[in-house]
Structure formats: C-alpha cells, structure tokens
Structure 1
Amino acid sequence: MKVQLCEKSVEEYRKIIGDKVDEIKESAKNLTGLKVVNVNATAFGGGVAEILQNLVPLMRSVGIDAEWHAIEAPSDFFNITKKFHNTLQGASIEITDEEWKFYQSVCEKNKNIVDEKADIVVIHDPQPAAIKIFSKARAKWIWRCHIDLSTPNEAVWNKFSRYVENYDKLVFHLKEYFPKEMAGRCVAFPPSIDPLSEKNIHLDDEFSRKLLKTLGIDVNKPLITVVARFDPWKDLFSAIDVYRLVKKSIPEVQLAIVSAMASDDPEGWIFFEKVARYAGTDKDIFFCTNLNGVGNREVNAIQRMSTVALHTATREGFGLVISEALYKMVPVVARPVGGIKIQISHGKNGYLAWNVEDLAEFVRKLIEDEELRKTMGENGRKTVIEKFIITVNLANYIKLFNEVLR
C-alpha cells in the first residue's frame, strides 16, 4: 500500500536551523531524481510511521524521488513479527517452523511493493525484512533497524539474520546494536522528531489548558506524563509505582499515560487491560489514547503542560518520546536504556536511574523545584535541536545514500 503524503519543504526549517538548510541541499545535489522506496509495517501508530510521515516529504523536497509503502498482512503475521520484536530484544519465546514459513509467505506476497526500477530500498524493522529475498529490484538495499539488538535471542537471530545478511547497509540507532558478524556494513545514527509536525509544533498555553480540561486533567496540579506503547518492555507498572511513591509526599500529583494503539501490535490490547487493572480506580491516573480521541495535537498539549516526563522502559531502541518532551522544555526522568542514554545528560536536562525509588525521588525533586525545571528544560531543547530533529536525520540519510551509490 502506497502511503499518501503531504508536501513539505526543507526551507520551512530555516527558522530553526538557519544556514544548515543550504548544506543539506548541497549534499543532495547528486541525488536528484534518485528513486528511493521506504517500506515498513504500518502507516499509522508507532515511531517509525511518525518518522516516515515527515521524513519522506523532506527527501522529496531536496530532489529525491522518495516513496513510502506499508505492507499488507493479516493479524497472524503481526502476532509473529511481535515475537520477532521481543526475541530480538532478548526475550525467550518460541517461534515455530510454521510461523517462520508464514512470515516468509507474507513477505513474498508483498514483493511487488518494491518498484523494480528503484535505486535504493530502505526496509524498516523486522516485519518486511524478508522481501529482499523475493524482490527482483536490482537496487541498493538498506535495513533500518529501530529496535535494541544489543542482546538478541541467539536462536532467533541466527534464523532471522539470513534475511538481512545480503543488505548493502544496516542502520542502527547505536553502535552497541551492531551484529558483530555484520559490523563492517553497519552505520549508526539516531532517528528524529519533526518540530513542525502536529505533535511538536508550538501550541498556545491557553489552548493546551482547555484541551487538558476536556480530558479531566487539572492544569493547576503537577502532572507526570508517560508516553509509551502498551508493551511489556515499557514497564508501565513501574511508572504507576513511581507515581504512587511521589503521591505520598505530593498528594495532588496526577499521572497521564499517553499511547496510540498501533495496528501492527496486537499485544497492545492485552497490556492495556493489564495496566488499567493495575491502576485501579485512582481518579488521578488518566489513560489518554486514540481510543478516547487523543491524537497528535492532544499528545502535544499534554506534553507541554506536563511538570515532568517519565519513561520506565526496560528496553528501548531509541525512545523518540524523550526528544519530544525535551524539545518542549520538559525535563525527563528515565531508565538509562538504549537510545535514552544519548538523549538525557544526567543532571543537565533530566535524570537517569534504574530503581523505582530513585526515579520517584528525581521526579519529586523536579516537581518541587521550578527553577531547576526551567534550567533543565532549556538545556533539553538545545540538545534536541542540535542532534535529534528531522533535518539532522535527513542529512544522515543523504550521506548514507551517497555512500551506497559510491
């Protein structure tokens, strides 16, 4: 399925990054007319879809003939690829021979999603990875992995790796994710947020306050916000534990759990129910999802009105929600996993800690110290503009495309 995209120009970012716009255009001169096909699992829900929604139009704006396609697959396929996701991040789950065969058969059915005349194909994450072995496209192939591959389930990786072993380049968020046997073909650069997207564009405080009131959130009380999928790796149970510890000394504190139910994540419904039961009937815990009308603009408003952002994931490929909060000048308290470690500088734009008690203490400290929050918020925004916005990601892709063509 070809995803329809709105037009967007790199020139729109000049007010944020200045003359770096000219550097990006210059670096893309040799790529004019280059046909680049991006393929992922879904057109909606999750960080990859959000990135492509904004990145692909920017590729087009510098002369690249870029497209985005989402595969078509039944729910059983996504149940299997969710197992891939979890096991490649280290979980011990059995994947049967029949499931491997079914995965391959769906990828084979999607082989024509890639134009045979494509110059470069960028496959995102495990779901469409096997398409390459069936496609007739004589392109340069890039596998962009958005998950934490530092300690995979070896049995699963040994089988899965055959799907990506002949890719020209493999891209990860961090060098620590590189498979040793493929390290020579691996590249590391982070993903990005789009400061001009509906999820990150500036919103008036009055508008945001009104929006939060419609969700039942009291804008005059401190708000801890967690933005994460309902996924076992996000450990939302610990987020609730942190909130409960903070509430002992700050009784008026509230917790917003913000999420989108993605179409390629059937496991999400199960964990939504588990987390909701764990939260119980606490009137100060708010579940804000696309199921009750919370879209990108609402997420934006909730983040902007947050006192502190919290992230309790035990595994995280990168964690774009960290950059989203930092860009909005909201300090983040999180566990030091995956890409979170390169976004948060402990004591500068947030805090890093593993156990619930330490996380709660840092959250409490930030709620009680407005001046500290302001300083950390300013530092956080600077960090994101320098390293984690979409124009940096675009520049990295342009550099990669130039490399694979050479």
Structure 2
Amino acid sequence: MLKPFEVHVQASALAAFRPQLTGVEWEALQANAVQARDLMAGRTCWNVSSTARGGGVAELLPRMLAYARGAGVDTRWMVVRGTPAFFRITKRLHHALHGSRGDGSPLGAAERACYEEVLRDNAEELLVLVRPGDVVLLHDPQTAGLAPTLTAAGARVVWRCHIGSDTLDAEVARAWGFLAPDLAAARLAVFSRAAYVPPLLADRSVVIAPSIDIFAVKNQPMAPEVTRAILGHTGLVGLAPDASEPIFTRTDGVPARVSRGADIVRLGSAPAPDMPLVVQVSRWDPLKDPVGVLRGFALLLRESPGLRAELVLAGPSVTSVADDPEAAATLEAVIAAWREQPHFLRQRVHLACLPMVDPEENAAIVNALQRHAAVVVQKSLREGFGLTVTEAMWKARPVVASAVGGLLDQVRHEVDGLLVRDPGDLPALAVAVRRLLDDPVLAARLGTQAHEHVRTRFTAARHLSDLVALLQRLDARVERGAWAGHLM
C-alpha cells in the first residue's frame, strides 16, 4: 500500500523581510500575518505534492510554508507516493497541459484506473490527518485525484496548477477531460496566469504568480571568491590553487561546506575561472529544450569561433526526482546531440548533473553557478513559471528567455532581460546571447532592473499577501456556496 510522507518544515520569522521592504510594505506584511492567524485559528493548512525535491513546486513550498508557520499558521506538507506507471501517466498529463504530446501514450480508462488506485491508497492515510474545516492545497495533476475524497471529509480543497497553456488545443483538452471528474470537487483552483484557466474552472479560479525566497540558500548573497571556490570544488570551473573554502550558510544559520562534485560530461578541461559562461539550469525535461540551447550555442560559435564563452547545461541528478520518469532519456538526448558536434564545440559545452543528496548543498551550487554566469538562458518551449529565471534576475544576471507562458510575465523585453519571440528560432537565440556577451553595459543595466522587478513582484512577501486573500475568498465561498469573481 502506498502511503504519503510528511516533510517537516521549521518556522522562519517574517522579520527577515523588514530590510528589503518599504515602511508601507512591511506594515502590510504584518497585517497579512495577523489576518492569516485569525482565518486559520484552530485549523491546519495542508500542502500536498508529488515530490520533496527537484522541480518548481519542491523549490517553492518549503520556504513559503516556513514563513506561513512563522506567521503563526499551522501549515504542513505531505508528499504522495506513486508507482512508475502512475508517474508516467502524470508526466503525460504534465505535457498535455502544456499543449504537448509528450510520449504520445494514451490517457484512457486503464490510465484513469491506475491514477485512481494510487491516489486512493494515499488518501487513506491523509484522511487520518485532515480534519473538517482544514484547508488543503493540492499541487498539480499528480494530486488532483485526491480532491473528491478530501472534500467529502469536510476539508476546504484548493487545487494549485503551476503549469498551463495559453491556447486550448486537443492535447490541453485531453488533459482537462482526464482531470475534470476530480476538479469538480475543488472549491477553488489557483493558476499562475489567467490564460491558463480552462472553461471548466472559469467560475472558481484565482490567479497567483509564484515567487522565490530571497533568503533561501539558493538566493543568499555570495562573495565572488566563494562562488569560484564552490564551482571549482564541484568541477564546474577550474579550481585555482589559492581558492577559498567552498562555504555556504544553511537556512538554520550554520556554516557548511560543499563536499560533493557534479557528474559532468565534457571533452577536455573545465572552463577557466574567468571564462564567461552561458548557463541554463533546469530539470532534464524536453520542454526546457536543453538540446535546443546546445544547438543554438553551437550556431553562435560556428558564426563566431573566436568568441570567448562556454556553455553549461546543468540539471539535477537524474535519479533524484521521483515524479520525473523522462529525466534520464532527456539527458541521453542532450548527450547524443553533444556528441554530434565537432571537436572544438564539444570542448566548450559542459553537461552537468548536480548532486541532490543534500538539497541545501545543491542550492549553494546552483546559486554559485547563476551568480558566476555571464548570461542565464531559459529556452523553454512551454513554461508555467520559470523559477530559475527569477532567481537569476534577483542576482542581477542578464537573462535570455523564450517568449512563452509565464516567462512573458517575468521578463520585460529590453527592460530587464531579452525575450526570443519564437522558442524554436536558434539564430535569434544566438543573436540575443551574443548581444549580452558583447555589451557589458547593456547586460549590467538589464540585470540591475531585473533585481528590482523581482523585489517588487516575485518575492514571498507578495505571495503571502495573495495567499491571505485566497483564504478570505475561500471562506467567503463556503459561506455563500458560490464564487463570484477572480483574484487577479
């Protein structure tokens, strides 16, 4: 029998935000904390997801829950378990909601039966914990099937969809058809963009953009010499003889050392510490199009062989993310595309699987890599919301992103980054990257403006205020028995 497990999250005080906020912003955050405590008095807010590490949801939840607990709200996190067949089905749904066929496998009666069986097992354990009146946030397609059971038990169920498509095509419709019986039981649904809301949820949808935690290990300040030391010890760049110790600070304030190395496919040596790096950090997912990034960079070097730059494509260890069965195949496709390149190109492209045994160590490595990057790329074919883009923008790095999905909300073209209109346009990607490499003044201006854009729109302080408004509307809906309007 499959049973979910709990991820324990320590509370974090909201006081950390005070230096980052204006007086008015700080007062609003404190008022929201009071409202949240009042609204949830005597109740628990449960978050249910499908993995505790790897991917945007696992990045987002721990710190948001920590701040909610710091505000005095009993917030807990459960992770469902599934079989390989279940996760193949949910990955197929993930692709379909983006408007992609994925592996093209069916979403019929047999798949529906497998999906229901796995979630029925998980629901039995959750029913022991969830009490009537509790709020349950179910995250993404993997958990949507829990809604009917938990609603019947008296919980106030909200489904949080972190992905979507701006257009309703046959694949998107197929996914919504599969999920519709379960979503009928959710009181509200939350989306990252209004364009992702399907007709079946139009009368009870809420729009809340995701955020990053600016105090997390992945986003904490890091001195350049420490950045180089961490990258040198992991093998991502050459290790200088006089390198500093690769030290970072854990969430609990305790210093720690990066001890593990990255698993890297490369030809020859690591980049020199002063080599400009073009970097994409993402899951090994075909919708992130790492093969396209590689080929776009190869085009750039063929046109400008003397350009001083190298490419790092980095993602998590492929065995570390339980709900992503495509990771290994995607990495193999990237390696195959790398092998197709001529010798001089392979010497300047590095494929890195980052260690995931210690999530905070992994976060420190990603932090160092993003801070060291001359250009950060996110060439997604589809994207609900690109957390790695917002992380890089917070670090004042110049970014090049595809003009798709949530990336359109995150990056303002020519203001705080560059957008490539067609994600399949490799020459346009090459031109945008070359432009930032050639023009440090432009790169610095975009990076500075990007940092401020994130500070005002994409931090946990703003996100917490949106979640308080969600709780208010959820209670109002329960009282009225109807929903009238959207939180935009």
TM exceeding 0.5:
yes
Does 1:6 find its partner at 2:10? Answer: yes
Tell me if the contact between 2:299 and 2:430 (Cα under 8 Å) persists in the aligned partners: yes
Match 2:100 to one of 80, 88, 91: 91
| Matches for 1:162-181 after TM superposition, within 5 Å | 162-181=181-200
Instruction: Give CA-to-partner distance per residue, 1:169-203, whole Å, 9 cap, x none.
Output: 11111100011232121111210111111111111
CA separation in 1, counterparts of 2:415 and 2:113?
Answer: 49
Does 1:378 find its partner at 2:383? Answer: no
Match 1:22 to one of 19, 24, 27: 27
Q: Which residue of 1 aligns with 2:435?
A: 365
Tell me if the contact between 1:225 and 1:255 (Cα under 8 Å) persists in the aligned partners: yes
Q: Which residue of 2 aligns with 1:227?
A: 281
Q: Which residue of 2 aligns with 1:309?
A: 376
Q: CA deviation at 1:389?
A: 1.1
Q: Secondary structure at the match of 1:166?
A: coil
Q: Secondary structure at the match of 2:311?
A: strand
Q: Secondary structure at the match of 1:321?
A: helix
TM-score under structure 2 normalisation?
Answer: 0.80
Does 1:321 find its partner at 2:388? Answer: yes
Tell me if the contact between 2:355 and 2:362 (Cα under 8 Å) persists in the aligned partners: no
Q: Which residue of 2 aligns with 1:296?
A: 363
Tell me if the contact between 1:118 and 1:137 (Cα under 8 Å) persists in the aligned partners: no
Q: Which residue of 1 aligns with 2:265?
A: none
CA separation in 2, counterparts of 1:393 and 1:69?
Answer: 21
| Matches for 1:71-150 after TM superposition, within 5 Å | 71-92=80-101, 93=104, 94-111=106-123, 112-113=125-126, 115-135=130-150, 136-150=152-166
Q: CA deviation at 1:205?
A: 0.5
CA separation in 2, counterparts of 1:401 and 1:105?
Answer: 30
CA separation in 1, counterparts of 2:417 and 2:27?
Answer: 33
Q: Which runs of 5+ in 2 are unaligned?
A: 236-269, 477-488
CA RMSD of aligned residues (A): 1.7
Instruction: Give CA-to-partner distance per residue, 1:120-179, whole Å, 9 cap, x none.
Output: 110000001111222343121111100114335223321212211221111111100011
Residue identity matched to 1:244: A
Match 2:63 to one of 54, 57, 64: 54
CA separation in 2, counterparts of 1:166 and 1:125?
Answer: 15
Q: Which runs of 5+ in 1 are unaligned?
A: none
Q: Secondary structure at the match of 1:295?
A: helix
Instruction: Give CA-to-partner distance per residue, 1:328-380, whole Å, 9 cap, x none.
Output: 11111111001100111111111111211111111101101111111111000
Deviates further, 337-346 or 25-34: 25-34
Q: CA deviation at 1:292?
A: 8.4
Which structure would you say has the larger Rg? Answer: 2
Instruction: Give CA-to-partner distance per residue, 1:231-273, whole Å, 9 cap, x none.
Output: 1111111101221122232443111112124221011111111
Q: Which residue of 1 aligns with 2:400?
A: 333
CA separation in 2, counterparts of 1:267 and 1:122?
Answer: 26
CA separation in 2, counterparts of 1:142 and 1:299?
Answer: 32
Residue identity matched to 1:304: R
CA separation in 1, counterparts of 2:467 and 2:75?
Answer: 12
Match 1:405 to one of 450, 475, 479: 475
Instruction: Give CA-to-partner distance per residue, 1:77-115, whole Å, 9 cap, x none.
Output: 111111111112223332232121010111111113251
CA separation in 2, counterparts of 1:149 and 1:170?
Answer: 15
Q: CA deviation at 1:118?
A: 4.9
Q: Which residue of 2 aligns with 1:207?
A: 226
Q: CA deviation at 1:219?
A: 2.4
Instruction: Give CA-to-partner distance per residue, 1:15-54, whole Å, 9 cap, x none.
Output: 1124323312212324323410000001111110111010
Q: CA deviation at 1:291?
A: 4.3
Q: Secondary structure at the match of 1:255?
A: strand
Deviates further, 311-320 or 112-121: 112-121
Q: Which residue of 2 aligns with 1:286?
A: 350
Q: Which residue of 2 aligns with 1:157?
A: 176
Matched positions, count: 406
Does 1:184 find its partner at 2:197? Answer: no
Q: Secondary structure at the match of 1:276?
A: helix
Tell me if the contact between 2:10 and 2:69 (Cα under 8 Å) persists in the aligned partners: no
Tell me if the contact between 1:246 and 1:253 (Cα under 8 Å) persists in the aligned partners: no
| Matches for 1:187-266 after TM superposition, within 5 Å | 187-214=206-233, 215=235, 216-248=270-302, 249=304, 250-260=306-316, 261=318, 262-266=321-325
CA separation in 2, counterparts of 1:316 and 1:231?
Answer: 11
Q: Secondary structure at the match of 1:23?
A: helix
CA separation in 1, counterparts of 2:337 and 2:462?
Answer: 40
